[in-house]
Amino acid sequence: MTIACGTICFTQSSFDRACAEIAQLGFKHVDLAVMEGWAHFDATKLLADFDKNVKSAEDSLSKFGLTPVAFNASAGTSEVGAETERFGAICRFANALNVSVICYGAPVAAVGMERAARRYERLRDIAFEHGMILAVEAHARTMLEMPDMAVEFCETIEGIFLTFDPSHMVAGPNQSEPFDQIYPYVRHTHWRDSGNTWERCQLPVGEGLVDFESMLGALKAVGYSGTYSVEYIDTFPNAGRRHIAEMKRTLESYL
């Protein structure tokens, strides 16, 4: 059982500063944001100078005694050539840092399952080539915002899995209806409390509708052994050290 902090909690800080904050909060593991145009590493910059970016990451992680356990990644494009090249760089970066799980964004609903399958089969194959687990996030406002569709996606594309963030099952159109069917496909998780609207998708622990005890128990029941990443994003309301620390304590109390 590994509890990590997502560097996405500190997108307005440099990677080095984010690592310092995470270590000060008592974490030993990080879920590293590789989000094109946002934080903390860009695939395009990896392609431009791969070794420089690896060294930068390794230096900060080593300085603060942190171990990366997953990536929260986006290539910033779905155009075949560019995405293929950038996703390959993300996988090589993960290899360099001994990370084996990549969380990746879900397709929008409008593309349809057939087109989505062609795209994500390609990404899955690249992930397989690098020994990666590709866990697509069951995210509100995407094709995977409803649990049945998330399961269909995994069953259509053999070898692809899910990142589970309960806030999206609560704040999105699923509205806290049962979603037990997704648990067997989960290989990565993000954690924060949430209300039942997108505007309230990030609330202080205990003020939302996420039933942490039930959800963590359900993951245990299906044998989940992956990372539990705290994700209080700093550009959303109710961000900051206090909320991150409380989510960490909550996970520790149940796990």
The string of DSSP codes covering 171-227 is HSTTTT---GGGGGGEEEEEE-B--SSGGGSSB-TTSSS--HHHHHHHHHHTT--SE
Q: What is the pLDDT of residue 25?
A: 98
For the cut 90, the answer to whether the pLDDT of residue 118 exceeds it is yes
> Average pLDDT over the chain, rounded to whole?
97
* Confidence grade of residue 22 (pLDDT, cut at 50, 70, 90): very high
* Contact status, residue 164 vs residue 188, Cβ threshold 8 Å: yes
In the predicted structure, residue 1 carries a pLDDT above the cut 90: no
User: Rounded mean pLDDT of 92-119?
Assistant: 97
Q: What count of other Cβ atoms lies within 10 Å of the Cβ of residue 234?
A: 16
CA–CA gap between residue 166 and residue 210 (Å, rounded):
7
For the segment 195-207, the average pLDDT, to the nearest whole number, is 97
* For residues 80-101, average pLDDT: 98
Question: What is the rounded distance in angstroms from the CA atom of residue 112 to the CA atom of residue 151?
Answer: 15
Residue 194 contacts residue 207 (beta carbons within 8 Å): no
Query: What is the per-residue pLDDT for 195?
Result: 98
Model confidence at 155: pLDDT above 90: yes
Architecture of domain 2-254: Alpha-Beta Barrel (3.20)
In this predicted model, what pLDDT tens digit does every residue of 225-250 receive, in sequence order? 999 999 999 999 999 999 999 999 99
| 232 neighbors 244 (Cβ within 8 angstroms) | yes
